[in-house]
C-alpha cells in the first residue's frame, strides 16, 4: 500500500472509534436521564367501605328519615285537630255578644213572671206575653244558652258571685245558696255570666 493510501485510511479508523465512544456515552447517559416514575401510592386516601357497612349506614339513614316523617305527621295531625276544634268553638260562641245583650231582657221576663205568679199579686202575665217568653227561651236554648240551677246548691266561686251572706236557717245550709239575685248562664258549656247569689253562713 502506498504512503498516500495509508494516510487516507487512518482518519477512517479514528472516525469509527469516535462514533463508538459517543454511542457508549449515550447508553451510559440514558439511565441517568430517565424521568422519575411518579409515586402512585394512595396511603392518605380513605379506604372503601365494606358492603355490610354500607348496608348498615343505609338502614340508619332510613330509620332517621322514618322518625322525622312520623314526627312531622304527628305535628301536622295535631295542628289540623286544633284548627278544627278552634273553628268549632268559634262557630259555637260566635253569638256570645248577642246572647249577653239579651240576658237583661230575659231577666225582665223572669221578674215579671215571678211577680205575676205570687199569691195575691194584682199583676198578670197575659197569654201573648207568656207565649213570647216561652218561645224566646226555647229558641235561645236551641242555640246553646242554658240557665244555671243555683238555689239550694253548694256555693262555688267558679260559678257564683256571692252578693252577701246571711245566717243559714239550719246547720246543713251553711255554705249553700239561699237565694239567687240574678241568674247565671252558660253558652255551649262556657260561662257567659256568673250567678249572683246570697250564701248562708
Instruction: Give the pLDDT confidence score for residue 33 in this predicted structure.
Output: 46
CA distance 201 to 197: 13
Instruction: Give the pLDDT confidence score for residue 106 in this predicted structure.
Output: 92
- pTM of the entire predicted model: 0.55
Domain assignment present for residue 8? The answer is no
Instruction: Give the pLDDT confidence score for residue 138 in this predicted structure.
Output: 92
Domain that holds residue 167: 96-200
Q: CATH number of the domain that 158 lies in?
A: 2.30.22.10
Domain assignment present for residue 10? The answer is no
Domain assignment present for residue 146? The answer is yes
Domain assignment present for residue 62? The answer is no
Instruction: Give the pLDDT confidence score for residue 184 in this predicted structure.
Output: 94
CA distance 170 to 173: 5
Instruction: Give the pLDDT confidence score for residue 89 in this predicted structure.
Output: 77
Q: Assign residue 189 a region: left if phi > 0, alpha if psi is -120 to 50, beta otherwise?
A: left
Domain assignment present for residue 105? The answer is yes
Instruction: Give the pLDDT confidence score for residue 5 in this predicted structure.
Output: 47
> DSSP strand E in the chain: where?
145-147, 160-166, 177-182, 185-187, 190-193, 195-200
Read off the pLDDT of residues 64-102 as tens digits, 9 standing for 90 and up. 898 888 999 899 999 999 999 888 877 777 778 888 889
**CB 156: neighbour CB atoms within 10 A?**
13
Regions of the chain where pLDDT drops below 50: 1-17, 20, 22, 29-35, 37-38, 40-42
Instruction: Give the pLDDT confidence score for residue 44 in this predicted structure.
Output: 53
Amino acid at each position: 500500500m502506498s504512503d498516500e493510501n495509508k494516510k487516507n485510511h487512518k482518519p477512517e479508523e479514528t472516525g469509527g472509534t469516535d462514533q463508538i465512544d459517543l454511542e457508549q456515552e449515550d447508553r451510559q447517559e440514558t439511565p441517568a436521564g430517565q424521568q422519575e416514575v411518579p409515586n402512585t401510592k394512595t396511603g392518605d386516601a380513605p379506604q372503601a367501605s365494606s358492603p355490610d357497612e354500607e348496608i348498615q349506614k343505609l338502614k340508619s339513614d332510613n330509620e332517621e328519615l322514618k322518625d322525622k316523617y312520623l314526627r312531622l305527621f304527628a305535628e301536622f295531625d295535631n295542628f289540623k285537630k286544633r284548627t278544627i276544634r278552634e273553628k268549632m268553638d268559634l262557630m259555637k260562641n260566635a253569638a256570645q255578644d248577642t246572647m249577653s245583650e239579651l240576658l237583661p231582657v230575659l231577666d225582665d221576663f223572669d221578674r215579671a213572671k215571678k211577680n205575676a205568679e205570687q199569691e195575691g199579686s194584682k199583676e198578670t202575665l197575659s197569654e201573648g206575653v207568656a207565649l213570647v217568653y216561652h218561645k224566646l227561651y226555647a229558641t235561645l236554648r236551641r242555640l246553646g244558652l242554658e240557665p244555671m240551677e243555683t238555689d239550694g246548691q253548694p256555693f262555688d266561686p267558679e260559678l257564683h258571685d256571692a252578693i252577701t251572706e246571711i245566717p243559714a236557717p239550719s246547720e246543713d245550709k251553711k255554705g249553700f245558696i239561699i237565694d239567687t239575685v240574678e241568674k247565671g248562664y252558660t253558652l255551649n258549656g262556657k260561662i257567659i255570666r256568673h250567678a249572683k247569689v246570697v250564701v248562708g253562713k
